[in-house]
Amino acid sequence: MTGPVCIEIQNVSKKYKSAQENSLTDVSLNIAMSDIFGLLGPNGAGKTTLISILCGIIPQSSGTINFYHENQPVSGQERKSRIGFVPQEYAFYQELTPRQNLDYFGAMYNLAKIDLETRREHLLEILGLSKFADKKVGSFSGGMKRRVNLAIGIIHEPDILFLDEPTVGVDVQSRNAIIRYLREINSTGTTIIYTSHHMSEAEEFCKHIALIDHGRVIAKGDLTALRNEHEVSNLQSLFIKLTGEEYRD
């Protein structure tokens, strides 16, 4: 653990109405403040389902989730302003520019105009989008769209940031820019929970991980300790050792 607990997940299960089987079964995890926590697992393991529940987008079927800030419980209402979510799908208006998108989503968080403008320009600059700030997002490359998606998820400076595959389908430059920025905000206290299929990226980036398979947590903890315990030299080998070689599609 890097700090006090900020998310406590106890015995969470989820069965979608239309599904025969549980998508999550009895998931229990503690995530520490200021951690970079990787939720990893094969396709269909339940990562997006868990993130969606933690962000309050869908309800769990059973189990409890508590949020804390410096050891104090965080209420449902306060949670909204403390959490940021960068989904796998693009969550912006293609026909608007990055500036217009950021203004729109910033206003949804009730940011004061002057704060929103300062924050917007800072994010455009730091994510390499200033030159394109008044062009429609629909015309952007995959990497630029991912960076716009990230900027929208963090416009309100959340303490806890959830990212579902933030670097999928982007070139090395955009991947580096995104990871570098995430590291930077983590170093000033933002807790990061992220999913990825990119094992070498996750290995370098995460402090702790949970490996999920068929909706269950099959390994969790500090990466070095997990590698030692399972006698493997890297995360990819650990992943294959615990989830097997067969296809998951």
Q: Which residues bind ligand ATP (CB under 6 A)?
A: 16, 18-19, 23, 41, 43-49
Is the Cβ of residue 103 or residue 165 nearer to ligand ATP in the bound state? Answer: 165
The nearest distance, CB 222 to ligand ATP, in angstroms, is 22
Secondary-structure breakdown of the chain: helix, strand, coil percentages, each rounded to the nearest 5: 40, 25, 35
Question: CB-wise, 144 or 211, nearer to ligand ATP?
Answer: 211
Closest CA to 161 of 34, 2, 71: 34
Nearest distance in Å: CB 37, ligand ATP: 15
Q: Of 159 and 164, which CB lies nearer to ligand ATP in the complex structure?
A: 164
* Residue 129 vs 210, nearer CB to ligand ATP: 210
Question: Across the strands, what pairs with 26?
Answer: none
Closer to ligand ATP by Cβ: residue 35 or 164: 164
Query: Smallest distance, Å, CB 229 to ligand ATP?
Result: 23
Residue among 30, 34, 28, 35 at smallest CA distance from 13 = 28
Between vectors from CA 196 to CA 238 and to CA 173, what angle results, nearest 5°?
115
Q: Which is nearer to ligand ATP, 46 or 158 (CB)?
A: 46
Rounded least distance, CB 134 to ligand ATP, Å: 33
Q: How far is the CB of 34 from ligand ATP (least distance, A)?
A: 25
Q: How far is CA 99 from CA 8, 134, 148, in A?
A: 36, 6, 10
Which is nearest to 151 in space by CA: 96, 209, 99?
99
Q: Which amino acid, 22?
A: N
C-alpha torsion angle, residues 180, 183, 185, 187 (rounded to 10):
-140
Token pair listed for 69: 């800030």
CB of 13 to ligand ATP, least distance (A): 12
